[in-house]
Structure 1
Amino acid sequence: MKRIFLVVLDSVGIGEMPDAGIYGDEGSHTLYSASTSKYFSMANMKKLGLFHIDGVKEKFAEIENASYEGTVARLAESSKGKDTTTGHWEIAGIISEKPFPTYPNGFPEEILKPFEERTGRKVLCNLPYSGTDVIRDYGKEHVETGALIVYTSADSVFQIAAHEEVVPVKELYHYCEIARELLTAEHSVGRVIARPFIGTYPDYKRTSNRHDYSLQPSLTMLDQLKETGHDVLAVGKINDIFAGKGVTDTVRTQENAEGIERLIERTQWDFNGLCFVNLVDFDMVYGHRNDVDGYAKALTYFDEQLPRVLEGLREDDIIMITADHGCDPATPSTDHSREYIPLVVYGSKVKKGVNLGTRKTFADIAATILDYYQVEKRIAGTSFLKDILQ
């Protein structure tokens, strides 16, 4: 029985990609920005080799000659974009040649009019907005009128915020399903997101009942594993990102701490296949809010819990720790950043002290995982399995 634990530290990028300027992200380096905080400490990831990765070691020169216990690499994004869906899909073997549509000026009437007709509710806002700011600025009017708060961001998302006492959660989910049906062809956004909140003006607070409605991806590593009888366990928002496709077991989580606990639980499970985990707080709670100290504390907490994860690994297990894009908390932007992502691989059969350099695509992760299970690859990416096993 062989198990792979693939852990995505959502938005923990490691430096601008060569085309970052096209995205307005020159100078971004999420990990380094977090490290400037006095609350930053990642001794365990240091032991595994995080600070030896290209683009990271130059920022942390004091560890240059230290030994480390894992195999590491820097991965470039081949897809067009810098959003969650694009990043995770590429990790799973899909290279998106065309970016998902974005709406810096809000959604057109051809989308909003039929949406209002089918939901029976008017729309408020219809602009790119911070999720916490939008309920502060439009929450009172929403509660008074019942109109839905529709907003977007720099990412390809159609977000609907509603107070749980005005629009019950199940009803909000139904409205998201309507939006997902309407957003097709040129308007095929990556995700429709339900954003329920509670409270009274001006102290509104988002709840954990968020739900994402993603496009159906084409063939991924998850599909190929499932097709060949392997388990695919999803933790966090993985199931939403892949619209449930290729997943055999799923659990939603409210925060990083719960996600880590669910991961640790699964190290005790008997399964043959992949446990795919997303830890979203880095991005959602700290990156988008430009909270450097909060980001650093979240990284430190993950690092402190990492030994508990590693203790559960068995002889044939492999853990891969990576990211999906950047979200530099120290730049003026509150949006994702076009960055390389780290890859740290560890296990009893994984080579120690190996740096694979910079690889061309996140999809190499998927190719390597399929190779480990001897599944013939029908997705993008090049396996590096022979380079990491002892």
Structure 2
Amino acid sequence: MMGEDMKRFNRIVMVVPGAVGTGAAVDAKKDENQRAEPLGRGFQQFQGRLQLPTLTDLGLANISRDAPLSGMSMAHPLTSYVGRIQPAADYCDSLTAYWEMMGLSIQRPLQTFPTGLAAKFVKQIEKFTNRKVILNGRSSIGDAINDYGLQQTQEGDIIVLTSSDSILQVSANQAVVSRNELYRICRFIRFVADKNNLRLGRIIARPFAGEAPSNFILAGGRRDYAMIPPGNTVLDLLTGSDVPVIGIGKVDDIFANHGIDKSISLLNNDDRLTRLITVMEEQAFGLIMTDLGDFEASNGDRLGSQGYGEKLMRVDRQLGEIINQLKPTDLLIITADHGNDQTSNRTRHTREFVPLIAASPNAHGGQLGTRRTFSDIGATILENFGIPSQFPGTSFLNQIS
């Protein structure tokens, strides 16, 4: 091992797919979806045909769980460090999960809007946009476009929908409402929400294209407008200590551009991992964090176990390329932000453990155990770069040799 006063790794690469839960957390009894487990059920559905050679070598099946992953063998010898983590916060979606990973645990849940926005807020939006707000209630984006897309296209309205998370989505046909106008509308909603102290996590612009419900499809150009993190994060400490932070995917959106030196916004998972490989060739020092988006949906529709597994296999192939790019002074951390069961009819995130894998070419491998907060990741990153931590969380750096 290196001395405690030296940087253990020059570069830390994080890869975070969404909705890869690995079993109910110990306090899952608080959650009505406590029995959900997307990873295990995905393996069951594929009946041994889910081929993940890279994740197998990395020890995904070596992570402690109630039942083995069907068709996946344990790695022998184990050359990476594996464990599982559950969120410390009572509620966890993508936004609060990423914040907790970077040391900022939110104990008071962000606001949700199960019945839509208040009439006063809707009137403000309609006055600003000179367009009618339709739906204004809970729905999936796929259902919203299918049910209201024709009306929006014909009448020039804007579709506003909420979910079980602290998310407000604004959608319109890009042939009727340009992307720039849709972004302007979302920025206005963000401004009004913040001005009125609404703890609304994200406002998401979701343009779609097509002429009729039969060919409506989500278009590129999604943009997230997140509330500013209510405190410093690990990213702020890193950039304040001249440790570069590069965000790929929606990382910049999640942290509202705080603590990010360079942002690469890409919608497609394949593009994000391809760009990660390019960035690794260019950036030899610092933190590179790559968000892979949620695995439970594509084009607004739930993938189901089949689509979920196929997406995992594509990511696994690209992870193999990333492993080949690792240098002895690199640390790769793979984890997830939350669970979401593809075999359930519910769209609500499930309270689960998520996998934790830490790999480096010179690592011997071992167990990291069960971690009680995502903040352990941030604590590990700070210790690695010699930055004192002001956050909760226990570093596992000294367990990696």
Superposition TM-score, scaled by structure 1 size = 0.95
Give the structure 1 partner of residue 396 of structure 2.
384
**Are 2:237 and 1:216 equivalent residues in the alignment?**
no
Where 2:137 maps in the other structure, the secondary structure is strand
- Name the stretch that deviates more: 124-133 or 28-37: 28-37
Give the structure 2 partner of residue 41 of structure 1.
51
Change (3 A) 1:31 1:287: farther
Structure 2: how far apart are the matches of 1:75 and 1:137? 38
- Residues 291-321 of structure 1: CA deviation (Å, up to 9, x unaligned): 1101001111111222210111112100000
- Percent of paired sites with the same residue: 33
Structure 2: how far apart are the matches of 1:250 and 1:85? 17
The one-letter code matched in structure 2 to 1:47 is: D
Structure 2: how far apart are the matches of 1:94 and 1:49? 28
Give the structure 1 partner of residue 297 of structure 2.
284
Judge conservation of contact 1:149–1:162 (CA < 8 Å) in 2: yes
**Are 2:90 and 1:80 equivalent residues in the alignment?**
yes
Structure 2: how far apart are the matches of 1:300 and 1:267? 22
Judge conservation of contact 2:189–2:203 (CA < 8 Å) in 1: yes
Structure 1: how far apart are the matches of 2:301 and 2:193? 25
Deviation at residue 67 of structure 1 after TM alignment: 2.6
Q: Of the candidates 162, 167, 174, which is equivalent to residue 172 of structure 2?
A: 162
Where 1:200 maps in the other structure, the secondary structure is coil
Where 2:297 maps in the other structure, the secondary structure is helix
Change (3 A) 1:62 1:209: closer
Deviation at residue 76 of structure 1 after TM alignment: 1.1
- Residues 167-190 of structure 1: CA deviation (Å, up to 9, x unaligned): 111111010011111223563211
The one-letter code matched in structure 2 to 1:107 is: L
**Are 2:375 and 1:363 equivalent residues in the alignment?**
yes
Structure 1: how far apart are the matches of 2:317 and 2:45? 17
Aligned length: 388
Structure 2: how far apart are the matches of 1:86 and 1:50? 24
The one-letter code matched in structure 2 to 1:373 is: F
Q: Which ranges in structure 1 are unaligned for 5 or more consecutive residues? A: none
**Are 2:246 and 1:233 equivalent residues in the alignment?**
yes
Deviation at residue 61 of structure 1 after TM alignment: 9.2
Report 1:1-390 matches (<5 A): 2-38=10-46, 39-55=49-65, 58-60=68-70, 63=73, 66-184=76-194, 187-202=198-213, 203-217=215-229, 218-285=231-298, 289-352=302-365, 354-388=366-400, 390=401
Deviation at residue 153 of structure 1 after TM alignment: 1.0
The one-letter code matched in structure 2 to 1:2 is: N
Judge conservation of contact 2:239–2:260 (CA < 8 Å) in 1: yes
The one-letter code matched in structure 2 to 1:30 is: P
Judge conservation of contact 1:288–1:329 (CA < 8 Å) in 2: no
Judge conservation of contact 2:44–2:70 (CA < 8 Å) in 1: no
The one-letter code matched in structure 1 to 2:381 is: I
- Name the stretch that deviates more: 117-126 or 156-165: 117-126
Deviation at residue 147 of structure 1 after TM alignment: 1.3
Change (3 A) 1:59 1:271: closer
Structure 1: how far apart are the matches of 2:13 and 2:300? 24
Judge conservation of contact 1:326–1:339 (CA < 8 Å) in 2: yes
Deviation at residue 60 of structure 1 after TM alignment: 5.0
Structure 1: how far apart are the matches of 2:217 and 2:181? 19
CA-based RMSD: 1.9
Q: Which ranges in structure 2 are unaligned for 5 or more consecutive residues? A: 1-8
Structure 1: how far apart are the matches of 2:252 and 2:116? 27
Deviation at residue 53 of structure 1 after TM alignment: 1.1
Give the structure 1 partner of residue 5 of structure 2.
none
Structure 2: how far apart are the matches of 1:33 and 1:378? 38
Structure 2: how far apart are the matches of 1:283 and 1:62? 21
Where 2:135 maps in the other structure, the secondary structure is strand
The one-letter code matched in structure 1 to 2:169 is: Q
Structure 1: how far apart are the matches of 2:218 and 2:181? 16
Where 2:116 maps in the other structure, the secondary structure is coil
Judge conservation of contact 1:51–1:60 (CA < 8 Å) in 2: no
Judge conservation of contact 2:110–2:201 (CA < 8 Å) in 1: yes
Change (3 A) 1:56 1:243: farther
